[in-house]
Structure 1
């Protein structure tokens, strides 16, 4: 009797493992949004990892998270490592490719709670009303992540964070655009005032009419 039970259990395990093996080997999650700013403003926020804390959907999950930066301040080779609570875990992301105002590609490595590596890409392109930002993450499924995908909609879970992050990015990018516009307006006003003062100094004095 025990042999039959063990045999049945072994068969069930083999069937389950076989079924898991048929699950997709890769995954891709993608979300996009149109930001009412120029591409260079949105790009600057993504290309500088030190500025991610202002808009990243995960930044607020652990305000005490420890971040370490290395490499250039921005662009290719720039890297961030983090150690945080159970919600953010531990990992590292590195910009592997950066094309000004067009694309930022990163290698995302999770160490804890589950070791994994994926590729994250941001693309920036002109769109009606501003700049379309497309956020994509893709990678390989290991056995454990294949099992998890049976019970958790990974695209919906990750996609929800992407949507929140893009909304945050829109907010900070709009603030950056406003600051730039105000600075440009101030500089223009100062330049016009300086030009007017210079013209006034250069203008010849008008002689007073002679008295009869």
Structure 2
């Protein structure tokens, strides 16, 4: 009886691991919002890390978070490192591309609570009097993330933060 249960357990675990291994190797999380403001009014909030506290939901995860800005004042070469509590973690991001009023690209590296290297793009597309702002993050999905993804939906978890940030951008620019 015990041997049969052990064999069934091993088969179930093996099946879960095999299924997790078939999941995609990369991920993309993307959200968009229409903002009643010109791209020129939105762009500076994204392109300057000193302005992120005005809209980024991640800025509120730890009131005691240590922030270090370096490099250029804004745009390409600007870097932002942080060390915070277990919610904020530890990491660094750097603007790798900046096209006025249309694109800000970031290299985003997390150290804690887990290691990850991702890319982030903010695109701004004028649409009449509005601007469609898209926040997208891409990265590799290692085996442990594939396994964790079986019980949690990363798109939903991260997507909620992106939606909150885009709503904050709207409020900050639609005044």
- TM bin, normalised by shorter chain, reads over 0.9
Flag as ranges the 4+ runs of structure 1 deviating above 6 A.
1-5
Structure with greater strand share of residues:
2
Bigger Rg over Cα: 1
Structure with greater helix share of residues:
1
Counterpart mapping for 1:74-85 below 5 A: 74-85=74-85
Higher RCO (Cα < 8 Å, 6 or more apart): 2
Unmatched 5+ stretches in structure 2: none
Output one character per residue of 1:52-80: Cα deviation in whole Å (capped at 9) or x when no partner. 01110111121111100110011111110
Alignment match, 1:208:
none
Q: Contact (CA 8 Å) 2:38, 2:129: kept in 1 or not?
A: no
Unmatched 5+ stretches in structure 1: 176-212
CA RMSD in angstroms, aligned pairs only: 1.7
Alignment match, 1:67:
67
The Cα of 1:15 is off from its aligned counterpart by 2.9
Give the TM-score, by structure 1 length: 0.77
The Cα of 1:12 is off from its aligned counterpart by 4.0
Alignment match, 1:19:
19
Counterpart mapping for 1:67-106 below 5 A: 67-106=67-106
Give the TM-score, by structure 2 length: 0.92
**1 CA distance for matches of 2:32 and 2:18?**
36
**1 CA distance for matches of 2:63 and 2:11?**
48
In the comparison of the two structures, how many residue pairs are matched? 175
